[in-house]
Amino acid sequence: MDVLRPGDTCWRKARASRAAFLVDNEAYYTAVFEALRNARRSVFLLGWGFDPRARLFPDGFDGPDDPDEVGRILVAVSRARPDLEIRLLIWKSALPIAASQQFFPHRARSWFKDTNVQFVLDDQVPFGACHHQKVLVIDDTLAFCGGGDISVDRWDTPGHLEHDPRRIMPDQQHHPPRHEVMMMVDGAAAQALGDLSRERWRRVTREVLPAPEAVPIHDPWPAHIPAQLKDIEISLQRTEPEWAGREGVTEIRKLMIASIMEARSTIYLENQYFTCPLIAEAVSRRLGEPDGPEVVLISTGQSPSWFDQLTMDRARSNMLWRLRASDVFGRFRAWYPITPAGTKIIVHSKVTVIDDHLARVGSANLNNRSGGFDTEVELGVQAGCEADERAISALRDRLIGHFLGQTGEAVSKARQEWGGLIPAIDALNSEGRLSPILPMKQTPLGEIIATYHLGDPYNVTDSWRASRRRDLLYQEKHQRFMSH
């Protein structure tokens, strides 16, 4: 299986001498802190959101002027190294969204006034769309990419404790447990993410930033993080809307469907949303095959915002009805994680693992807008040897295990003992830490919202024409699956 095709299912491929998966933001924020301290030439951050008050090492006591706030760390680093170029490019969020976040990131501009930190809000997207890419690039030699932003309600550990005093926000409230995954790469793969960041910067500021001519001698890779993959080819794939004279880019959507259709034994989907009919159709077709793959979806039990409950949760319900009807061989499960006390864990990660062969970590959700309306970026890695396969398998098993309160090794052993991923989860899920996501009974309003995917545009042409959305999805489904 080779589904990573530059110019089609991915943007480009680039090698990394090291790559690692960071599970939950305790690991990510710690790595960010060390990488910022190691930076010598440049720091580039792309984000959907950003709050300079976010603490990289929360201790359960939040007060004024905490030295571990990321905004203070960035200013301190810039003062210690005046030649270091620090650029933050964050989506200029709509006011209703900004209001729910105490008007950050807009208010972050005042944090960096009269400093060497360049903070820019980016509104270069169609009306209603957002910049959803989450990327941090250090010296063009180290980069992070995934589903996590740096904000005050994102930090958590893999334990996802019921009550963790470290999950405290500036208003002294505690946010619920939350799951994120990031991927860290070095080498040419990191520079490729630097290229993407410079292009984004050019579009909003008109400033052309040259690519670095030479790699710095200093290695910013965090010393405490071992490489899980070595000397590996990394793919980069994007979503960009067709807008302002630029053609649309749908590499992520193409790769998702291609990888589902090529899967042999296991499709593992970990995602905030599941509302895209094209992806559901691809999964449905595989479930109808007598010897098709197992499909496991891990998502949030209920979206935390009322708007997503109204739109995404209802559309997901229709997708689940479709897949349950297609699952004639009993190979599909959809679960949401909870703490031992029953609190729902917010699943915000965007991870896809196909067999032991392909792993993808990025910002894209399994909804319509992440495939053609918002901007997205993700990294992919395809196994080239047995060591790569073990690393990819270990990522999937570790993710499942941490939801169950088990180790990845326990999940691996259960898979071998019970003959598959789904029976392994059933065997290890004695405490009910993974609960089934069941389709909901739709109200008349809910049925309209789900049928027309309100709030979830397929691309720019249907963003304000919901009646056209069904036609576009039908045409795309017909064209894409005719050959299958």
Tens digits of per-residue pLDDT, 270-316? 999 999 999 999 999 999 999 999 999 999 999 999 889 999 999 99
pLDDT, tens only, 432-462:
999 999 998 888 888 888 888 889 999 998 8
State the pTM of this model. 0.95
Q: Across residues 329-351, what is the average pLDDT?
A: 97
Structural domain includes residue 469: yes
Give the per-residue pLDDT at 143.
Answer: 98
Q: What is the pLDDT of residue 59?
A: 86
Q: Decide which of 211, 230, 249 is a domain's last residue.
A: 230
Same domain, residue pair 458 and 360: yes
pLDDT at residue 362, as a whole number: 98
pLDDT tens per residue, range 159-200: 999 999 999 999 889 999 999 999 999 999 999 999 999 999
Higher-confidence residue of 66 and 359: namely 359
Mean per-residue pLDDT, 377-384: 97
pLDDT band, residue 13 (cuts 50/70/90): very high
Residues 6+ apart with CB under 8 A from 237: 9, 10, 11, 251, 252, 255, 362, 377, 378, 380
% of residues, the chain, pLDDT over 90: 83
Question: Is the residue at 339 inside a domain?
Answer: yes
Average pLDDT of span 12-20: 98
pLDDT for the residue numbered 387: 97
Calpha distance 128→241 (Å, rounded): 11
Q: Does 354 lie in the same domain as 221? A: no
Burial code (b: 16+ CB inside 10 Å, e: under 16) for 357-375 equals bbbbbbbbbbbbbbbbbbb
Q: Are residues 56 and 187 in the same domain?
A: yes
What is the model's pLDDT at position 94?
81
Q: CB of 323 within 8 A of CB of 285?
A: no
Asked, for residue 218, whether it belongs to a domain, the answer is yes
Q: Is 293 found in the same domain as 317? A: yes
pLDDT of residue 63: 65
pLDDT for 385-440, tens place per residue? 999 999 999 999 999 999 999 999 999 999 999 999 999 999 999 999 999 999 98
Domain boundary among 202, 230, 258: 230
Neighbours of 82 (CB within 10 A): 7
Answer whether residue 200 is part of any domain: yes
Residue 231 scores a pLDDT above 90 = yes
- 24-41 pLDDT per residue, tens: 999 999 999 999 999 999
Under the banding of pLDDT at 50, 70 and 90, the label for residue 71 is: very high
- Nearest CA to 89 out of 45, 55, 50, 123 is that of 45
Cβ-based burial of 170 (10 A; exposed 0-12, middle 13-18, buried ≥19):
middle
Tell whether 440 is covered by a domain. yes
- Average pLDDT for residues 341-367, to the nearest whole number? 98
Residues 184 and 58 in one domain: yes
Rounded Cα distance between 370 and 477, Å, is 17
Query: Is 453 within a domain?
Result: yes
Residue 1 in this model has a pLDDT that exceeds 70: no
pLDDT at 472 (0 to 100): 65
Q: Using the predicted structure, report yes or no on whether residue 353 has a pLDDT greater than 60.
A: yes
With respect to residue 296, please indicate whether it lies within any of the assigned structural domains.
Answer: yes
Residues 243 and 186 in one domain: no
Reported residue count of the chain is 484
Residues 267 and 187 in one domain: no
In the prediction, which pLDDT does 234 show?
A: 98
Are 198 and 252 contained in the same domain?
no
pLDDT tens string 42-69: 999 999 999 999 999 998 776 667 889 9
pLDDT computed for residue 411 by the predictor: 98
In a domain, 6, yes or no: no
Q: 270 with 210, same domain?
A: no
> What pLDDT shows up at residue 60?
73
pLDDT band at 102 (very low <50, low <70, confident <90, very high): confident
Give residue 470's pLDDT. Answer: 65
Q: Is the pLDDT of residue 122 over 80?
A: yes
Number of domains in the chain: 2
Domain of residue 42 covers: 17-230
Q: Can you tell me the mean pLDDT for 374-389? A: 97
For residue 256, report the phi and psi dihedrals to the nearest 5 degrees: -60, -45
One domain, residues 225 and 338: no
pLDDT at 101: 77
Q: What's the pLDDT score for residue 225? A: 97
Rounded to the nearest integer, the mean pLDDT of the chain is 94
Picking from 207, 230, 253, the residue at the C-terminal end of a domain is 230
Q: Are 112 and 119 in contact, with CB atoms under 8 Å apart?
A: yes
Residues 350 and 419 in one domain: yes
Same domain, 242 and 198: no
Distance CA 299, CA 346 (A): 8
Q: Which residues pair with 347 in a beta bridge?
A: 179
How do strand 294-298 and strand 332-337 relate by DSSP bridges? parallel
408-416, Cβ contacts within 8 angstroms, sequence gap of 24 or more: none
Give the domain CATH number at 62.
3.30.870.10
